[in-house]
Amino acid sequence: MEKHVTDAGITIQPVYTQPVAMQELPGEFPFTRGIHASMYRDKLWTMRQYAGFSTAEASNQRYHYLLQQGVMGLSVAFDLPTQIGYDSDHPMAEGEVGKVGVAIDSLEDMERLFKDITLEQISTSMTINATGFILLALYIALAKKQGADLKKISGTIQNDILKEYAARGTFIYPPQPSMRLITDIFAYCSKEVPKWNTISISGYHIREAGANAVQELAFTLSNGKAYLKAALDKGLDINVFAQRLSFFFNAHNHLFEEVAKFRAARRMWANITLSLGATDTKAQMLRFHTQTGGSTLTAQQPHNNIVRVAVQTLAATLGGTQSLHTNGFDEALSLPTEEAARIALRTQQIIGYESGVADTVDPLAGSYYVEALTNEIETRAWELIGKIDAMGGAVSAIEQGFVQEEIARSAYQYQQQIERGEKVIVGMNKFTMEDTGSPDIFRIDDSIRKVQSDRLAALRAKRDNGQVQLLLQQLETAARSSDNLMPLVVTAVENYCTLGEIADTLRKVWGEYRS
C-alpha cells in the first residue's frame, strides 16, 4: 500500500496549492458547509448514547443514568428476536433474548422501557428496521397513553431495510413488501406524527461490513434515491416527506477523509433531491446522525479505543453531524459498562464544550486538501451511483448481488492490508503487549428469556384474545390490499397484540426473504 493514501484508496498529494473557490455559504444550497447558517454556535449536536439490554426495566435504569449525565436524546438498541420479529418465547429466540439490546414483546414492555420518561420532552432514536413499523406503533401507543400531543413527539426509526439485504441481515420480508411498509410509514407520519423522522438511511452498517468511505457514501445515497422514488410512486409530496428523512453515517479513523465524506454527502443529496423535484430547501437538506466506528475498536489494549473514539468524534463534529453516539472503549469485548458509557459521553462533552470545534462553522473549509478530497470523494461516489442506476437502481443492484460483492471485496482487501502490516492497528499488529487481562465485562444473564416468557404468558391470559384475533385477521386482509397498514398496527398494539404475532401475520401473506 502506498504511504500517502486514504482508506478509500485516494492518493494524497504532498501539498495542495490550487486556489479553492469558497463562494458557498453554510445553510445555503447545496449545503456542503452545513445545513444551518450558524451550526453549533447556536446549538450543539444532540449527544446520544446507544443503549439497550436485558429487560425493559434494566434499560430504563441506564436511560435515567444517561439523562442524569447530560445525554440530550435516547437511542434504543433492541435484541435480535425483536429485530427479526420473534417474541421472546419463540424457539428462534433462544439464547438471544436481551443480549445485544432490550427485549420488547408488547406495549407492556414499552411502558416499562420508558417509565418516568415523558416522551414529549425527549427525542428518541430507535435502531430497528424490519419491525420498525411495529416499534413505531408501540411508541405512538405509549405516547397516547401518556396523553402526549402526537404532533409534538420527535425521534427517528432507522427503518432502512435495503442496507439489511446488502450488509447486515436482519430482514424478514422480501424487498417489495418491505418497501411498501416504509412508504406506509412515510404517509402515516406526515399526517399523524409530523416531527418524527420516518427513516434513517444507514451507511453505518455498510461501513461496518467492510465498505470504504466512497462505497459507504454511494451505496447509502443510492438507497436514499430508492426510498424517494418509492414514495413518489405512491403519490407522496417530496417537499413534505423528504423533510423527515435522515441519514446515519459511520465515523472511521481517517479524520480528513471522514470530514470530506460528510461534506460531499450533503452536496450530493441536495442535488439528488433537486433532480427528483424537491423545491423546498428543507427537503433538500441531508441531516445525519453519526456513530463512531465499532469495527475499528480492538479487544487488544481496549483503552486505546478511547483515543480512537475521540478522533472519530472530531471527524463527525468537524463534518457537521446533527447527532452523535460515541462507542464505549470496551465494546469489542461486550456491551458497554456504565463507566465506558460515561467516558464515551464525556468525550463528546469535552469536544463540544472545551475544544473550540463549535466556535465556527465548517472549520476545515478552505483547506486545499479537504476541499480537494471532498471533490474527489464526490466524483468517485457519483461513478459508483452511475453503475447502480444502470442496473435499475439500488433494489435491483442488491438483488443482483453487486453491492454485496463490492463490500466483500473491500473488506477482504482491508483485512489483507492489516495482516501484511501495511495498515497499522496500534496494539493489534504493531506496538503489541503481552495480555494484561481484560477490563470488567458486562454480561447478560440467560434467565432473561424466562422472565420475558412468563410475562408473555400472563399478558395472553388477561387480554381480550377475541379482539386480538379479530385485529390480526383485519391486518392480514389489509396486507393483501394496498391500504396503509399503520393505523391497524397502532390499534393492534394498543390491544396488546405482540410484536411476534404482528410479524407472523405478515409472514403468512408475504413470506420470508432468502438471500
Whether residue 108 lies inside any domain: the answer is yes
Whether residue 409 lies inside any domain: the answer is yes
Determine the residue type at 232.
Answer: L
For cell 401507543, name the residue.
141
Q: Dihedral through CA 226, CA 292, CA 311, CA 353, nearest 10?
A: 100
| pLDDT top residue among 20 and 99 | 99
**N-to-C CA span, the chain:** 34
User: Domain holding 206: CATH number?
Assistant: 3.20.20.240
Whether residue 277 lies inside any domain: the answer is yes
pLDDT-derived band of residue 49, with 50, 70 and 90 as boundaries?
Answer: confident
Q: Give the three-class secondary structure for 381.
A: helix
For cell 427485549, name the residue.
103
| Average pLDDT rounded to a whole number, residues 459-475 | 98
Task: Report how far residue 374's alpha carbon sits from residue 319's, in angstroms, rounded to the nearest whole number.
Answer: 11
| Average pLDDT rounded to a whole number, residues 22-39 | 90
Determine the residue type at 380.
Answer: R
Share of the chain above pLDDT 70, in %: 98
Whether residue 202 lies inside any domain: the answer is yes
The domain tally of the chain equals 1
pLDDT-derived band of residue 2, with 50, 70 and 90 as boundaries?
Answer: very low
228 pLDDT more than 60: yes
- Confidence (pLDDT) at 446: 78
| Average pLDDT rounded to a whole number, residues 211-226 | 98
Task: Report how far residue 350's alpha carbon sits from residue 352's, in angstroms, rounded to the nearest whole number.
Answer: 5
Vertex 74: Cα angle to 181 and 207 (nearest 5): 65
- Confidence (pLDDT) at 1: 39
Measured between alpha carbons, how far is residue 77 from residues 14, 83, 100, 135 in Å?
A: 43, 9, 7, 12
16 pLDDT more than 70: no
Contact 158/127 with Cβ under 8 angstroms? yes
Whether residue 470 lies inside any domain: the answer is no
pLDDT-derived band of residue 107, with 50, 70 and 90 as boundaries?
Answer: very high
pLDDT-derived band of residue 6, with 50, 70 and 90 as boundaries?
Answer: confident
Determine the residue type at 89.
Answer: D
Contact 488/475 with Cβ under 8 angstroms? yes
515 pLDDT more than 60: yes
**What string of DSSP letters covers 320-353?**
T-SEEE---TTTTTSBPPHHHHHHHHHHHHHHHH
- Confidence (pLDDT) at 90: 98
- For residue range 359-380, what is the model confidence (pLDDT) as tens digits? 889 989 989 899 999 999 999 9
Burial of 69 (0-12, 13-18, 19+ CB in 10 A): middle
- For residue range 322-367, what is the model confidence (pLDDT) as tens digits? 999 999 999 999 888 899 999 999 999 999 999 989 988 998 998 9
Burial of 184 (0-12, 13-18, 19+ CB in 10 A): buried
122 pLDDT more than 50: yes
- For residue range 384-419, what is the model confidence (pLDDT) as tens digits? 999 999 999 999 999 999 999 999 999 999 999 999
Whether residue 261 lies inside any domain: the answer is yes
- Confidence (pLDDT) at 18: 53
Vertex 365: Cα angle to 251 and 12 (nearest 5): 65
Domain ranges, residue 277: 5-424+438-446
Task: Report how far residue 116's alpha carbon sits from residue 340's, in angstroms, rounded to the nearest whole number.
Answer: 25
| Average pLDDT rounded to a whole number, residues 152-163 | 96
Whether residue 62 lies inside any domain: the answer is yes
E runs forming strands in 245-391? 245-251, 288-292, 323-325
Whether residue 506 lies inside any domain: the answer is no
Q: Which span out of 4-18, 131-145, 424-438 was modeled with the highest average pLDDT?
A: 131-145
Vertex 172: Cα angle to 169 and 173 (nearest 5): 125
